[in-house]
């Protein structure tokens, strides 16, 4: 299984570029926008490292401090990519327990070499990795291990909850899925989630897909739940 690197950023373009660089060198990536989403992901799967997009308008050192204080992520290698104008955060990042920091612009090889060194994952020459697991229905295609989703050929950025909801729907197309079933697959067992919370995340997922899809492929079933249904137009 390819090592999963979490990228914490609010910049979709930054994520797409960095995720492509990581994928070419044998990593997979997942997008998060805050520490709580990193905690959710770490509780569900094995995260190998975290990259923080450090900019003048954010305080990624605070995020690193929280990662160090939580048992799920305390040993996680954390790397800061520091944008121009955010140089003054370097000291705070060091105090927060950052493992490594790089000033941007950055040669991608420096980040890749550090990750391979830290994780011990430098691929041997001639070794081929197995094809990634993918799911497809209608306009939507998901590469599971890299957490990439495309709709009508366009990259769709989803948070961890929306990703898990969509994955279960793609695994069960045209089946009506109850809210209780969706809660069971998308949230940790120790977290209480009400039906309204499911509706909110389904609404976010529906909105993300509608930007690129030819229609609304998530059908609301009154008193039943939701179903993924494709209609050609």
| 176-193 residue pLDDT tens | 999 999 998 888 777 788
Residues 12-19 have a mean pLDDT of: 89
| 101-120 residue pLDDT tens | 998 888 888 899 899 888 88
Q: pLDDT band for position 132 (50/70/90)?
A: low
Listed in order, the ranges of the chain carrying CATH 3.40.50.2300 are: 4-119
Name, in order, each residue with C-beta under 8 angstroms of 231's C-beta and a sequence gap of 6 or more.
215, 217
Helix pair 160-171, 179-186: axis angle to 10 deg:
120
Q: pLDDT band for position 233 (50/70/90)?
A: very low
Q: Kindly state which CATH superfamily the domain 4-119 is placed in.
A: Response regulator (3.40.50.2300)
Architecture (CATH level 2) of domain 134-228: Orthogonal Bundle (1.10)
Listed in order, the ranges of the chain carrying CATH 1.10.10.10 are: 134-228
Q: How far is CA 193 from CA 160, 181, 206, in A?
A: 15, 12, 19
């Amino acid at each position: 299984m390819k090592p999963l690197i979490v990228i914490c950023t609010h910049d979709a373009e930054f994520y797409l570029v960095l995720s492509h660089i990581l994928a070419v060198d044998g990593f997979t990536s997942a997008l998060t926008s805050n520490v709580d989403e990193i905690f959710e992901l770490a509780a569900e799967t094995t995260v190998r490292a975290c990259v923080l997009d450090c900019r003048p308008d954010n305080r990624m050192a605070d995020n690193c401090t929280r990662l160090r204080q939580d048992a799920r992520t305390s040993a996680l290698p954390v790397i800061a990519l520091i944008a121009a104008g955010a140089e003054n955060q370097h000291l705070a990042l060091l105090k927060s327990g950052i493992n490594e920091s790089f000033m941007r612009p950055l040669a991608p090889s420096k980040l890749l070499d550090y990750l391979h060194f830290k994780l011990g994952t430098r691929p041997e020459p001639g070794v081929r990795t197995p094809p990634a697991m993918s799911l497809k229905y209608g306009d939507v295609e998901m590469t599971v291990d890299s957490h990439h989703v495309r709709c009508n050929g366009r990259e769709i950025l989803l948070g961890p909850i929306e990703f898990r909801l969509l994955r279960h729907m793609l695994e069960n197309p045209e089946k009506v899925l109850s809210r209780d079933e969706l809660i069971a697959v998308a949230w940790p067992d120790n977290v209480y989630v009400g039906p309204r919370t499911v509706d909110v995340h389904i609404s976010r997922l529906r909105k993300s897909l509608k930007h690129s899809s030819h229609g609304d492929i998530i059908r609301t079933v009154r008193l039943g739940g939701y179903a993924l249904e494709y209609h050609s137009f």
